[in-house]
């Protein structure tokens, strides 16, 4: 108990295992073996936890203990294989648990839906079957019950019907008490377009997984945080976290989820390296039965191709990505599809993609949703309001903390201005986009911006990274928000910084730009 109180789960498990060895009473021995298995699982020792469950099952076990054993078996199976093969045993365990413990039954149905989501297009009818079974389970108003209801609705009734339910579920889940649900709720934040929850929960999940010693959950926490950092334009931090995930995977014997590494490689834009990573992810997806990664790989190929300016290839990849409605991936891929289709002259495809994307954003009122809708509207506009839509996209996506997409919207605005023969204005936008892409390491998009900049008669300024005249990605984001009239508390709320930290960053920004007030920010940024 003292070891658990200090977060020492591995030490607690060792004490419990010793207690098992010293216990002669069969019932007491079985109960202690079950407790030790729980502790070993939390500490990331999957194989050892399975051995201890074997000991616990020798029994005798009362019905409640039997329910715990069945639930832990399901959790172990999911940790080792999140693909299609684990869905049937999870559904079977959930059905048995209905007769023993409603709460454990709902949690196991939720795990079955999560596994079916991961199986994706390789799972056949598994996702629908799991959702139907989950909907038929006794309803619960706790965090598990609400998330089960929300995801069952998402599968069976569609995105629009599920948004409010999923938002309620995410709000209900607390990191302290529902840590095992937090990784799933992090993915759900994409469906509800809640960037605050996305960035905040990914950070909190990682902090709590580390502080609690839950190594069985740390790998997922690292992966989700890395993806958030990529979208925030913090590539170096994301790479560091992915290195940690690799080390952890080797230590606990569970392969790290490859999705974040694939997305990062695509955005870095080094073609040969990214293609190899994407191809490896495809192999992993097929061998493991995790079809969700097929969607991620196709989406990542679309990102890479859009960055390289190969729009027909990007369109083909994006169309492949949206063949199945993968959680979170669908909305990413639709954005790539609209851009690729618009740039390759497939206007009808672009318009259809825009309609699908706007249908998903129109049921949510958030900066991320509004910015994404404006992004698609700008690319497909036929009413003469493209510029307004582009500027809205830049402002809203910056406000949402989606630095990467905001920079892409700025690149698109610069390209549009050049084609409208407004070269001076286009040059300003393209220069700013180029410098941000170059500073964060998005090499293909930086090259695309440089080519467009050259077409305006400009020259891409390549500054030494880290030089005093450069704004970091975070400083550029703070500067844009301040130039848009946001107060320090408002900026802090968007970027999860204290107002005092925002003020500190602004002083550095003023020094670098050689200005003395916020009133000068907009002009200084245009001149960069």
pLDDT, position 523: 76
247 Cβ neighbours under 8 A, 6+ residues apart: none
Among the residue ranges 233-247, 272-286, 323-337, the one predicted with the least confidence is 233-247
pLDDT, position 206: 85
Reported as a pLDDT band with limits 50, 70 and 90, residue 337 is: very high
Please give the Cα distance from 333 to 461 (Å, whole number).
Answer: 31
Among the residue ranges 165-169, 286-290, 520-524, the one predicted with the least confidence is 520-524
Query: 94-148 pLDDT, tens per residue?
Result: 888 887 888 888 988 998 898 899 899 999 999 999 999 999 998 888 888 999 9
Among the residue ranges 86-90, 200-204, 362-366, the one predicted with the least confidence is 86-90
Three-point CA angle 34, 37, 38, nearest 5°: 90
Reported as a pLDDT band with limits 50, 70 and 90, residue 81 is: low
pLDDT, position 464: 41
- Model's pTM, two decimal places? 0.80
Q: Where are the domains of the chain?
A: 1-61, 464-528
CATH topology of domain 464-528: Arc Repressor Mutant, subunit A (1.10.10)
CA count, 13 A, side-chain hemisphere, 111: 31
Asked if 288 and 254 touch (Cβ cutoff 8 Å), the reply is no
43 Cβ neighbours under 8 A, 6+ residues apart: 9, 10, 13, 213, 214, 215, 216
CA 462, 466, 470, 476 torsion-angle sign: positive
Torsion of Cα atoms, 433 then 435 then 439 then 442, to 10°: 40
Nearest to 495, CA basis, from 405, 365, 402: 402
Mean pLDDT score across all residues of the chain? 86
Of 185-194, 232-241, 282-291, 345-354, highest mean pLDDT: 345-354
């Amino acid at each position: 108990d003292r070891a658990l109180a200090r977060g020492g789960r591995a030490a607690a498990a060792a004490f419990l295992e010793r207690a098992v060895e010293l216990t002669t009473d069969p019932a007491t021995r079985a109960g202690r073996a079950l407790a030790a298995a729980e502790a070993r699982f939390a500490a990331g020792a999957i194989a050892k936890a399975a051995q201890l469950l074997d000991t616990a099952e020798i029994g005798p076990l009362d019905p409640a203990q039997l329910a715990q054993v069945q639930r832990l078996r399901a959790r172990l199976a999911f940790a080792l294989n999140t693909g299609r093969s684990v869905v049937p045993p999870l559904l079977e365990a959930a059905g048995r648990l209905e007769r023993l413990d409603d709460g454990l039954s709902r949690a196991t149905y939720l795990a079955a839906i999560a596994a079916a989501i991961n199986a994706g297009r390789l799972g056949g009818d598994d996702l629908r079957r799991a959702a139907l079974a989950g909907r038929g389970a006794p309803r619960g108003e706790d965090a598990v019950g609400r998330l089960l209801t929300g995801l069952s609705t998402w599968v069976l009734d569609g995105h629009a019907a599920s948004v409010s339910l999923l938002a309620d579920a995410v709000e209900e889940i607390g990191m302290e008490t529902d840590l095992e649900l937090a990784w799933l709720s992090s993915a759900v934040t994409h469906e509800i377009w809640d960037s605050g929850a996305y960035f905040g929960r990914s950070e909190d999940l990682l902090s709590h997984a580390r502080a609690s010693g839950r190594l069985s959950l740390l790998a997922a926490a690292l992966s989700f945080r890395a993806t958030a950092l990529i979208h925030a334009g913090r590539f170096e931090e994301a790479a560091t976290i992915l290195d940690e995930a690799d080390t952890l995977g080797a230590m606990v014997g569970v392969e790290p989820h490859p999705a974040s590494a694939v997305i990062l490689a695509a955005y870095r834009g080094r073609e040969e390296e990214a293609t190899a990573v994407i191809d490896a992810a495809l192999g992993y997806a097929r061998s493991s039965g995790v079809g969700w990664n097929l969607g991620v790989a196709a989406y990542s190929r679309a990102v890479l191709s859009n960055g390289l300016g190969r729009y027909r290839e990007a369109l083909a990849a994006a169309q492949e990505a949206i063949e199945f409605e993968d959680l979170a991936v669908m909305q990413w891929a639709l954005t790539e599809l609209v851009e690729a289709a618009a740039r390759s002259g497939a206007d009808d495809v672009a318009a259809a993609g825009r309609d699908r994307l706007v249908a998903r954003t129109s049921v949510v009122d958030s900066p991320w949703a509004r910015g994404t809708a404006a992004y698609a509207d700008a690319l497909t506009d036929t009413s003469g309001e493209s510029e307004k839509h582009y500027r809205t996209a830049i402002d809203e996506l910056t406000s949402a903390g989606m630095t990467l997409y905001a920079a892409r919207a700025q690149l698109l605005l610069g390209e549009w201005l050049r084609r409208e023969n407004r070269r001076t204005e286009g040059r300003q936008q393209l220069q700013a986009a180029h410098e941000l892409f170059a500073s964060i390491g998005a090499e293909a998009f930086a090259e695309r911006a440089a080519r467009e900049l050259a077409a305006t008669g400009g020259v891409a300024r390549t500054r030494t990274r880290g030089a005093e005249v450069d704004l970091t990605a975070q400083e550029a984001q703070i500067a844009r928000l301040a130039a848009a009239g946001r107060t320090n508390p408002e900026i802090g709320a968007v970027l999860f910084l204290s107002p005092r930290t925002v003020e500190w960053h602004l002083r550095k920004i003023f020094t670098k730009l050689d200005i003395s007030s916020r009133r000068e920010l907009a002009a200084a940024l245009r001149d960069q």
